[in-house]
Amino acid sequence: MRFWSLAGPDEDVLLALSERHLGDLPQVTSPPGTEGAQRAGELQAALDHLRGVRDSYWDYGWRRENRGGGRYPENKLWEAVQGYLDLLDASESPYLHPR
């Protein structure tokens, strides 16, 4: 299932997950031969986001907007790093590139 794409979060999927309607979740498959391009696009989007967070990290206004409710700018930075590394690891997985 896909709950996020380059267009942003899929609100219907997130709602179904929050309400535990797992049978209502759509199964998304990529057309044959497009998986590599899709992974490359996702990895580039994650890297762009990571760089955006890094570039904004010391900006006072950004830090103020990303603080509150027990969350700190460090959380945003950590999540951006973790998201990028998760996608990078997945893209290098032997399960995605069978021999």
pLDDT in tens, 39-97: 889 999 999 999 999 999 999 999 999 999 999 999 999 999 999 999 999 888 766 55
Can you give the pLDDT at residue 99? 46
Can you give the pLDDT at residue 38? 83
- pTM value is 0.65
pLDDT in tens, 9-33: 778 888 888 888 777 777 777 777 7
Between 82 and 5, residue with greater pLDDT: 82
Can you give the pLDDT at residue 95? 62
SS3 content of the chain, % helix, strand, coil (to 5): 60, 5, 35
Q: Any idea of the CA torsion for 53, 55, 56, 57, to the nearest 10 degrees?
A: 80
